[in-house]
Amino acid sequence: MRSLTILLAAAAATIAAAAPAPAAVSESERCFGAAARDPERRCVNRALRFTVTPTPAEALGVLNSPCEPIDKEGESLYSCAFGTQWTEAVKTIALIGDSHAAHWRAALDVAVLRRGWHGLSLTESGCSLTKATPVLKGRRRDDCLAYNHAVVRWLEEHPQVEIVFTSSHGGKVVAARGQSQYDAQVDGYERAFRELPPTVKEIVVIRDTPWSTLTAPECVVEAVADGRRPDLACAIPRRRALRQDLAAVAARRLRGTRVRLVNLTPFMCDATRCFPVVGGALVHKDGGHITQLFSRTLGPYLARALDRILPPAR
């Protein structure tokens, strides 16, 4: 994934120098971003069909949603805060997992603010929430094993955290003799979810987002320059963009327990295609991560999904 990100950065820099930037539009526009693909409420704004915000080159320089660092002596993990201030919050939640969890923070920030929840982010790039041993080079394997051990300990030390949110890009893990890679990964997620302390009342798994391609940024810029719709001209076959999410498989298997699953794929894909631009908003900042802006537009729909699986009265 890192090599694809580097290639995308180089491609975006070349594109920025060689072609005019796509037209930008304010996110306050009607039907901007995820609203344009709301399966429950049709929203059409023809003015957004040939616009892209941010540009592919701009997106690479934007970090995930702001998060206020928490500097507490003796803490085993780096954490930062978002959402409602803890002094005014009615509940505390935590976002845990790798960078594919972190890019949901902008959406989650919108959702938790609506509920008056305080959010704590404890993500670690490259480290999924799993009890399986990842197949990683050098110290990364040991770092991820340590991270997952520290997460459980941290949650035990912070019983005020009632809900954990996670998402994951997956990756190969060590499989037992006779065990398939599929089963090893699913088992690792299942064990991780089960072993979170009982003070965590709910675990919400957000299905991973589609992936982009190396050629998508260039295609988007060129489509707008040529007067073509970038969402349709640069759409990626769903079978290529939407990878199997084994954390989501584990969540479905544990249905009926405290584990819940949220799937917002319809806001990015239809039955056959996934779109690099939705409602004038650029979906991906690189090969595997969505832009902060598009993530934020998903916030109201993440909130709606939570209303259904975790009614506000709970």
| Widest CA span in the chain | 57
Long-range contacts of 63-67 (CB under 8 A, 24+ apart): 63/292, 64/102, 64/103, 64/105, 64/106, 64/292, 64/295, 65/105, 65/106, 65/109, 65/292, 65/295, 65/296, 67/105, 67/121
* Residue 21 reports pLDDT greater than 80: no
Q: How confident is the model at residue 27 (pLDDT cuts 50, 70, 90)?
A: confident
Tell me the per-residue pLDDT of 295-312, one tens digit each, with 9 for 90 and over.
999 999 999 999 999 987
Average pLDDT over residues 215-237: 97
Average pLDDT over residues 211-235: 97
Q: How many residues does the chain have?
A: 314
Q: What single-letter amino acid sits at 195?
A: E
Between vectors from CA 50 to CA 44 and to CA 51, what angle results, nearest 5°?
A: 95
Mean pLDDT over each residue of the chain, to the nearest integer: 91
Model's pTM, two decimal places?
Answer: 0.91
* Residue 16 reports pLDDT greater than 80: no
Distance CA 230, CA 127 (A): 33
* DSSP-assigned states of every residue in 171-232: --B---TT--HHHHHHHHHHHHHHTS-TT--EEEEEPPPP---TTHHHHHHHHHHTT--HHH
Retrieve residue 14's tokens: 């070349």
Residue with tokens 């190969």: 172
pLDDT for res 17? 45
Lowest mean pLDDT among 25-29, 230-234, 253-257, 277-281: 25-29
Tell me the per-residue pLDDT of 128-160, one tens digit each, with 9 for 90 and over.
999 999 999 889 999 999 999 999 999 999 999
pLDDT for res 15? 45
Lowest mean pLDDT among 62-76, 117-131, 205-219, 273-287: 62-76
Q: How confident is the model at residue 6 (pLDDT cuts 50, 70, 90)?
A: very low
Tell me the per-residue pLDDT of 62-96, one tens digit each, with 9 for 90 and over.
989 999 998 766 677 889 999 999 999 999 999 99
Tell me the per-residue pLDDT of 272-283, one tens digit each, with 9 for 90 and over.
999 999 999 999
Query: Where is pLDDT greater, at 170 or 55?
Result: 55
Strand partners, 272: none
Domain boundaries, the chain: 2-258+290-309
pLDDT for res 258? 96
Number of H helices, E strands in the chain: 12, 11
